[in-house]
Structure 1
Amino acid sequence: MELKKVMRSVEILLSCMNEEDYSIISGSNIKTNTVIINQCSENSMNQININNNKYVKWINSTERGLSKSRNMAIHNSCADICLIADNDEKFDDDCEQKILKAYEDLPDADIIIFDLHNKPTKLKPKIYLPKRLEMLRVCSCQITFKRASIIDNKLIFDVKLGAGTGNGAGEENKFLLDCYDKGLKIYHVPEKIAVMTENESTWFTGFDADFFYKQGMSTRYILGFGLSCTYGLYYAISKHNQYKKDISIFGALKNILSGIFDNKLTKKI
């Protein structure tokens, strides 16, 4: 049976911390409906009207953790389609139109992964259904999804992972793997929708021993023992040019394997 094309609404779900004013709205070139979760020292909510009858739902929250922020944004969204975002990107003027067109062209899609202008991707430069392990090649700012698909399948961002947990990143990869394992249709569409900017990271402090330990710890949690060892070796080799000034390849691999074998994250209650 042919799936009908329907008009849909889009919202950006943007996570940030300690924003003191609303300048991030213009700074990110936000021109579509948006939910912003600003983790700070108070709990409050405000709605800000922007151009063309669009709005920003601004939520200040004392909760901490990037995954908690993502989940709160999903809960407070009322859109058909959501785009995950951070405070370090600037959206294309026609970002919303590109997203809507992709979902109209792929009506069976539950999730569509897009590209970014200045961030190379290892996904194939075509419209296709990526394999399971290709979910590890995706960053959060590429991810859009039908909100109903996520809610109906009780899918969330794992609160053990992400900035603010002290356990390293990878929350978006586990989210996509959970979606994949639930049987959701995940497409890659090689359409660029935003530019990454160079804001200071709230979690990345450099390629030190602790970074690689947490990389091993989170990878073990996401992939299990066997695959995490293989991926850990691949990661240490493939990222060598990025970290070689900070730590040797043997030091990186040693700490990744220590994180994998200690398995602290999986053992946490």
Structure 2
Amino acid sequence: MNRSTLDFLKPMFPVHFSDYSILIINQTTQGNLLQSGYPGVRVINSFEKGLSKSRNLALQNAENKLILLTDDDVEFTPDFDENIVKAFNNGCEDFAAIQFCAEDKERNRLKSYPSKNKALSYLNILSAMSIELVYNKEKILGSKLRFDENFGLGAAFPLGEEHIFLGDLKRAGYKLGFYKEYIVRHSNDKNSDKIPFKKWYETLGSYYKRMFPGSYLLWIFIYFGFNIKQGKLSFFKVPFAFSYFIKGKNSYLQTK
């Protein structure tokens, strides 16, 4: 994050940010520390790099029952807090995490969502975004599970940290749900669009091997098939993509 003032918080919230309980994980340097003069806004200046490291530090130090791990470039909807509380009080009290809806800055939905509230399947998890997710602190801390620090921006494999975390929770028997209410606005730019072809498929190889250890090949062929159908991957490039995928899978195995 590397912030030196709290000004970035002003456009994020529907009222002044001091009305909320906020924990900022400011990944910075010794000479650029962030401080807060607001009782409800706490700051941890961290000298480690990596999104998953930041997420884990936030989970460890969160004080409230519900945790929204968000980015610093989002805008919350006017009733985001009411929608979150309503979801967790509407039969979802024992859920470890709930996915909500996001819209772009023009108030259009950011992507397709299920038509009704439901439990999250593994397929649903693969399309979840971190800005849509709210966690139940009691369930998360009780699970002893944390974000895999090999994944996410600033790590060896720069994507998939939230999917892997949700997948770990689901495999451990924790409930995950989708609630059809909007809580956040964000641009529809995708980090994946900025990753070169070779690096993208290498990262996918590590990601699918970590996410689905015994069935990663099935999932990658599903991914290939979908992208070929959508015109995002040509048949000519499939052998190259697959070789990069295997290389990424092997790179992940070397971290274990």
Question: 1:182 matched to which residue of 2?
Answer: 172
Query: How many Å separate the matches in 2 of 1:70 and 1:92?
Result: 22
Does the 8 A contact of 2:4 with 2:34 survive in 1? no
1:174 Cα offset (Å): 0.7
Does the 8 A contact of 2:28 with 2:45 survive in 1? yes
1:200 Cα offset (Å): 9.3
Query: How many Å separate the matches in 2 of 1:92 and 1:146?
Result: 20
TM-score, with length taken from structure 2: 0.84
Q: How does 1:145-224 map to 2 (within 5 A)?
A: 145-197=135-187, 205-224=194-213
Q: How does 1:1-269 map to 2 (within 5 A)?
A: 17-29=1-13, 30=17, 32-42=20-30, 46-49=35-38, 55-106=40-91, 107-118=93-104, 120-197=110-187, 205-225=194-214, 227-239=215-227, 244=232, 248=234, 250-251=236-237, 254-260=240-246, 262-269=249-256
1:221 Cα offset (Å): 1.9
1:256 Cα offset (Å): 4.3
Does the 8 A contact of 2:67 with 2:137 survive in 1? yes
Q: Which residue type is aligned with residue 268 of structure 1?
A: T
1:255 Cα offset (Å): 2.5
Query: How many Å separate the matches in 2 of 1:26 and 1:199?
Result: 22
Query: How many Å separate the matches in 1 of 2:209 and 2:244?
Result: 11
CA 1:105–1:20: 2 relative to 1, 3 Å? same
1:104 Cα offset (Å): 0.9
CA 1:85–1:242: 2 relative to 1, 3 Å? farther
Does the 8 A contact of 1:88 with 1:199 survive in 2? no
Q: Which residue type is aligned with residue 26 of structure 1?
A: K
Does the 8 A contact of 2:198 with 2:244 survive in 1? no
1:91 Cα offset (Å): 0.8
Does the 8 A contact of 1:157 with 1:171 survive in 2? yes
Q: What secondary structure is seen at the aligned counterpart in 2 of 1:137? A: coil
Query: How many Å separate the matches in 1 of 2:119 and 2:50?
Result: 30
Q: Which residue type is aligned with residue 218 of structure 1?
A: Y
Give the strand-richer structure, 1 or 2: 1
Query: How many Å separate the matches in 1 of 2:176 and 2:79?
Result: 22
Identity of aligned residues (%): 25
Does the 8 A contact of 2:101 with 2:113 survive in 1? no
Query: How many Å separate the matches in 1 of 2:63 and 2:239?
Result: 44
TM-score, with length taken from structure 1: 0.80
Q: Which residue type is aligned with residue 259 of structure 1?
A: F
1:240 Cα offset (Å): 5.6
1:204 Cα offset (Å): 6.3
CA 1:71–1:252: 2 relative to 1, 3 Å? farther
Query: How many Å separate the matches in 2 of 1:73 and 1:133?
Result: 27
Which 5+ residue runs of structure 1 have no aligned equivalent?
1-16
CA deviations 1:117-141 (Å, max 9, x no partner) are 1354454221111223321121111
Aligned residues: 245
Query: How many Å separate the matches in 2 of 1:137 and 1:199?
Result: 15
CA 1:241–1:73: 2 relative to 1, 3 Å? farther
Does the 8 A contact of 1:81 with 1:144 survive in 2? yes
